[in-house]
Amino acid sequence: MKAGIHPDYHPVVFQDANTGTKFLTRSTVTSDKTIEWETAEGVREYPLVVVEVSADSHPFWTGSRRIVDAAGQVEKFNRRYGNRRSGAHGR
């Protein structure tokens, strides 16, 4: 690999904003926030990145479903576009 062209890949702690779950992984992302994390070598300080959704809170991974307001979306569509007929064929 060429030296000097790759971003810094380092340990980072991610925290799910919805559940509070934290996990340590490696990333190129940077952060001004830090957190102390217990490791086999003792307590270390790592950058902390807070994310809105992770596997811990994402509906696909948790099996929970979001309520979709399909009727409201149909009403919104009808208000916006109404029952227009296509003028391309002169009908």
Query: What percent of the chain is modeled with pLDDT above 70?
Result: 75
Which residues contact residue 35 at a Cβ distance below 8 angstroms, ignoring those fewer than 6 apart?
13, 15, 22, 45, 46, 47, 48
Domain range annotation of the chain: 10-79
Q: What is the pLDDT of residue 85?
A: 64
Per residue in 71-88, pLDDT (tens digit) is 677 788 888 887 766 555
Nearest-angstrom CA–CA distance, 13 and 23: 6
